[in-house]
Amino acid sequence: MTLSRRKALSISGSTLAGLSLGVVGPGRSPVVQAQEPQDWPDRLVERPLREGFPAPLPLDPDGSAPDHPESAAGSITDPLMWRTPGRRTPEIEFDYRRMAIRVDTRGMARLSGTLRFSDLEQLPVVSGTWLLQCGAPNPRGIVKWTGVRFSDFADMLGVIPEVHYCRFVGSDRFYADEPMTTLRRPQVLLAWLMNDEPIPPRHGAPLRLIVPFRYGNRSVKAITEMTFSTPGPRMPPLPA
């Protein structure tokens, strides 16, 4: 009997599936089992929403995060949302005094290259104590963060007004794009201290973005790269 290439591949694939399911073994013939059709509607249907998601963010009327007294600061609860197998913290240089972070301004700022802690030391140091809220109904804790305002950092770089957003990449390759209008709000920090101590590796050492009026996953941990960008080049003014 002559088998077509397609038929041979089909049998080969079925045999492999059988081996993985334990239905094929030595001296046994492969058993081809029909797969159940996928339970997916062939039209748009109503589905129940995820219960309790997203959790409401407790914000002030102006959209900022409520300030808490330093005495309320404490730990962050598990689980920690690392995008790695087993949610393990990637191994990098955790000492903020030795940080080396790639900053690519793509010709749209005066400075570009590798950010060192000595660069941040030139800027005013500020602190804020805010709730870290997960998107699920699970407040992670009130934390005191210390660092520099992102707006001061952007001004130090000399970022031009036409830059629209910055992409932050963490050591686990998770990334977030934030518009500059958000990043320039006074509560947004680049932080290296948590509750007056160096940020622990599991919480984002050596440098973490803090956006307290957004869900916690937007506060990218263990920043390794920052890239400033814009959807297009500067446009000439429209004719009168």
Kindly report, residue by residue over 73-132, the tens digit of the pLDDT: 999 887 777 888 888 999 999 999 999 999 999 999 999 999 999 999 999 999 999 998
For every residue of the chain, DSSP letters joined together read: -PPPHHHHHHHHHHHHHHHHHT---TT------PPPPP---SS----PPPTT-SPPP---TTSPPPP--GGG----PSPP--SSGGGPPP-----GGG--EEEE-TTSSS--EEE-HHHHTTSPPEEEEEEEE-SSS-EEEEEEEEEEEHHHHHHHHT--TT--EEEEEETTS-EEEEEHHHHTSTT-EEEEEETTEEPPGGGT-S-EEE-TTS-GGGS-SSEEEEEEE-SSPPPPPPP-
Taking the C-alpha atoms of residue 223 and residue 169, their distance in angstroms, rounded to an integer, is 6
Q: Please, which pLDDT band fits residue 36 given cuts at 50, 70 and 90?
A: low
What pLDDT, in 10s, does the model give residues 58-77? 899 999 999 999 999 999 88
Query: Residue 51: its pLDDT value, please?
Result: 85
Residue 239: pLDDT above 70?
A: no
31's tokens: 């058993």
Specify the pTM: 0.77
Taken in order of first residue, the domains within the chain and their CATH numbers are 93-229 (3.90.420.10)
Task: Look at 50-54, 102-106, 126-130, 145-149 and tell me which has the smallest mean pLDDT.
Answer: 50-54
Mean per-residue pLDDT for 40-47? 93
pLDDT tens digit sequence for 180-223: 999 999 999 999 999 999 999 999 999 999 999 998 889 999 99
Q: How confident is the model at residue 8 (pLDDT cuts 50, 70, 90)?
A: very low
- With a cut of 70, say whether residue 6 has pLDDT above it: no
Q: How confident is the model at residue 176, as a pLDDT?
A: 93
